[in-house]
Amino acid sequence: MVLRPVRKSQGKQAQDKHTKSRRDTSPKSSKKASFARSIRSTLSTSSGQAHSGQVSLRASDKKLSFADLFKASESKVPALKRNQEVSGKIVSVSRNELLVDIGAKSEGLLAGHELTAAADLVSDLSVGDPIEATVLYPENDAGQVVLSLRKLSGEKRWKELEEKKENHEDIDVVAMEVNRGGVICEYLGIRGFLPASQLVKAPSKLEDLIGKTLNARVIEVDKQSNRLILSQKQPEKKDLKEVVKLLSKVKIGEEISGVVTAVLPFGIFVEVDIEKEIGRSGDQVVRKAKKSEPDDLNTQKPDNLSKLEGLVHISEISWEKVEDPAKYFKVGDKTDVIVIAKENETGRLNLSIKQLSEDPFVEVSKDYTKDKEVKGTISRVTPYGVIVELTRGIEGLIHISKLPPNENFDVGQSVECSVEAVDTKSRKISLVPLARTKPVLYR
């Protein structure tokens, strides 16, 4: 008797096919599919290298086990880390997601909130376009690399803000928080500051502005320091001539007196009454200004066209490093300033306080000659080295390449160093730690 294999009925075959199809849609099958693509890519790469003479394929290579293939793919595809920058080409664009071939085991995925946050960028992209992104998560449940375009999007928006400032265009911002000095606003993910003194109609309580959309103009933008300053007070066209006249009475390098109207993390605003400060002959007239109360910031009066407001940036407050301007000034303080720049378009002044006096570094640095041994206290530990305060207002840097590998450095610690170099122009002193312990010698 001849035994014949029993064949599955067509219905059974269809059911098995349907069951397999359902299994293939699971995250695990997605991982397997991604891995299979990686294996094919690895083999095709190896094959291409063989044609170019870089790799010689043996006959035994055709009989690789699954473990061998897995090991080969692992060696070919580098591991990704969070916040790592990657580049690739877009392979798919849809309403809900964007897929990018970044040369990894699977495609990079941009979806959800990350897609919404970069909607203005994605709208201009299509399949085949090159793109740079940041790794948010090396692998999700489906084995895909989750990407973010926030860095690229942020760079584009900083550029937009610079253009808005140059073109004197208004922008809409959302009030997020308030503090004593004003309102912290957000523009497409970038946070800026709107001083209370720059509000046109300030409510009795600044907290009432939270969540509201405000129209303002960019008066200062700096991507490097992550600084965005806004203002609602802009001179009307009919008043612009008067403002320019006032600015023409002020000369760069001139010393004047003013009153602090706002103290912010990045500097202070100082208001100057030009008519009272500048005499007909151009000589200075000391102004007897009364201190303004902090509460007056919440009830701003209409602009007085004899007054101009200027910013003393945090870097212009003192020759020594300033961490918090509030430790130096408060609203209502009178202070002397020097004009370092004028902005005719906005009717504002750029002011400095530290330039009223000579830079102490020039004189003090004469005491720090090359190879001189000095003592100091560590004030900061940074990724690039250790900052040592040698005396008040004078600091030196021990570069990370000069630090001993087996020694710890902490803030407040006393250290002994030798002067390696002094750069008066950039106000930098390079230091090298002294080795007081003799190295252990091995025979």
Classify domain 85-148 at the CATH class level: mainly beta
Mean pLDDT for all residues in the chain? 75
> Amino acid identity of 314?
I
pTM tops 0.85, yes or no: no
Top-confidence residue, 365 or 22: 365
In the numeric block, the tokens 């090359």 are attached to 370
- Between these two residues, 54 and 245, which has the higher pLDDT value? 245
Count of beta carbons in the 10 Å neighbourhood of residue 46: 15
Instruction: Supply 202's token pair.
Output: 């300030």
Q: Which of 230, 213, 212 is nearest to 169 (CA)?
A: 230
Is domain 237-356 classified as CATH 2.40.50.140? yes
Task: Please give the class, per CATH, of domain 365-433.
Answer: mainly beta
Contacts of 440 (CB under 8 A, 6+ apart): none
Summarize pLDDT for 295-331 with one digit per residue, the tens.
333 333 334 567 888 889 998 999 888 888 989 999 8
The proportion of the chain whose per-residue pLDDT surpasses 90, expressed as a percent, equals 18
Q: What pLDDT, on a 0 to 100 scale, did the predictor assign at position 33?
A: 52
SS3 per-residue string spanning 101-164: ECCCCCCEEEEHHHHHHCHHHHCCCCCCCEEEEEEEECCCCCCCEEEECHHHHHHHHHHHHHHH
d(CA 310, CA 353): 12
Res 216: pLDDT = 93
pLDDT digits (tens, 9 = 90+) for 69-103: 655 555 555 678 888 888 889 998 888 888 999 88
Residues forming CATH 2.40.50.140 domain(s) in the chain: 85-148, 155-231, 237-356, 365-433
In this predicted structure, which of 36-45, 57-66, 380-389 has the lowest mean pLDDT? 36-45
What's the topology of domain 155-231? OB fold (Dihydrolipoamide Acetyltransferase, E2P) (2.40.50)
201, pLDDT greater than 50: yes
222-248 tens-digit pLDDT: 887 778 889 887 665 556 677 778 888
Look at residue 120 in the predicted model and tell me its pLDDT: 67
pLDDT at 364 over 90: no
